[in-house]
Structure 1
Amino acid sequence: MAIKQKEKRPLHLANKMNIKKGDTVLIISGKDKGKEGTVSRALPQVSKVIVEGRNIVKKHVRPQGQTRQGGIIEKAMPLHVSNVMLKCTECGEATRVAHDRRPMGADQKERPVRICKKCNKVIEDRTRSS
């Protein structure tokens, strides 16, 4: 019997995730429970994230002509977003995330920010350089 896969939704209808590319996360369940890593890719359409060096599986690949050699490769597979917890950039602890609008940038325009539930400080966005 085939396993029914979760349908991909268009990006404008995708789930909102509190975790973004570049965040440091703590894995709270699964075979890598208790380990930390950096999110290399976020997949909001299927509510998953890929963490560098975690959830590694061995995949058997066939050679494709002259371009790709066959063999066994190690690949990081996606984890469901509910199985990881964001680490705060200020207090360094795994935390839940709150959202707020705060004045930011040179123009002091109100922008949405993520806030640590433990220390109530803004979680820095590592992908932005502002």
Structure 2
Amino acid sequence: MQIKPIENPCLIVVKLKRWERKECKPNSLPVLHKMHVKVGDTIKVISGRDKGKIGEISKIFKHNSTIVVKDINLKTKHMKSREEGQPGQIIKIEAPIHSSNVMLYSKEKEVTSRVGHKVLDDGKKVRYLVKTGEIIDSDENWKKLKEAAEEKTEVAAAAPAADSP
């Protein structure tokens, strides 16, 4: 068997046992914790097995304050063969890590920092890095994220069309 990464790995999601209770509000809705990071932020892992690694957030789970970071906290998953002719596989998938184990990272200054909130002169509320003063929620960052999301949807839409005869 060969170990090979997959382009779109499935995510490990924490499932609660029947006897475990979710933290709920009085109206029985689950509590969604506020997070200091968002999808697309560059972060550095500050504790755990992957301490010191730098990556970009690809997914957030607010109910248990965990995040999935691209190419960090990789776990091996053994896949059984689904068809007779297809062999089994060992794949690498990205597992979630707790948001308290990461800090925002500035690529320009190469330093980690806490996040702060401030209101600009035009009345827009933004997040910024406390150490460097660098603004995270700028219009340029949002445009980059939107373009990347559009490219992914275009590639996903084009892939099935290419597979059909």
> In the alignment, which of 114, 126, 129 is matched to residue 113 of structure 1?
126
Once the two structures are TM-superposed, the CA of residue 48 in structure 1 deviates from its matched residue by: 0.9
Once the two structures are TM-superposed, the CA of residue 93 in structure 1 deviates from its matched residue by: 1.3
* 31-40 or 56-65: bigger deviation: 56-65
> In the alignment, which of 29, 32, 35 is matched to residue 14 of structure 1?
32
Deviations 1:81-108 (A, max 9, x none): 01111113553311011112224xxxx3
Once the two structures are TM-superposed, the CA of residue 78 in structure 1 deviates from its matched residue by: 0.5
Say whether the 8 Å CA contact 2:40–2:58 is kept in structure 1.
yes
Could you say which structure has the higher helix fraction?
A: 2
Q: Match of 1:71?
A: 89
5+ residue gaps, structure 1: none
Say whether the 8 Å CA contact 1:16–1:44 is kept in structure 2.
yes
Determine which structure has more spread, i.e. the larger CA radius of gyration. Answer: 2
Amino acid at match of 2:97: L
Q: RMSD in angstroms over aligned alpha carbons?
A: 3.0
Deviations 1:96-126 (A, max 9, x none): 11112224xxxx3x23211211123322457
Q: Match of 2:3?
A: none
* 88-97 or 54-63: bigger deviation: 88-97
Distance (Å, rounded) in 2 between the aligned partners of 1:52 and 1:90: 20
Note if 1:46 corresponds to 2:64. yes
**What is the percent sequence identity of the aligned residues?**
31
Distance (Å, rounded) in 2 between the aligned partners of 1:44 and 1:83: 15
**Residues 43/84 of structure 1: CA separation in 2 closer, same or farther (3 Å cut):** same
User: How many matched pairs?
Assistant: 121
Say whether the 8 Å CA contact 2:48–2:101 is kept in structure 1.
yes
Say whether the 8 Å CA contact 2:68–2:96 is kept in structure 1.
yes
Could you say which structure has the higher strand fraction?
A: 1
Amino acid at match of 1:92: E
5+ residue gaps, structure 2: 1-16, 145-165
Distance (Å, rounded) in 2 between the aligned partners of 1:113 and 1:91: 20
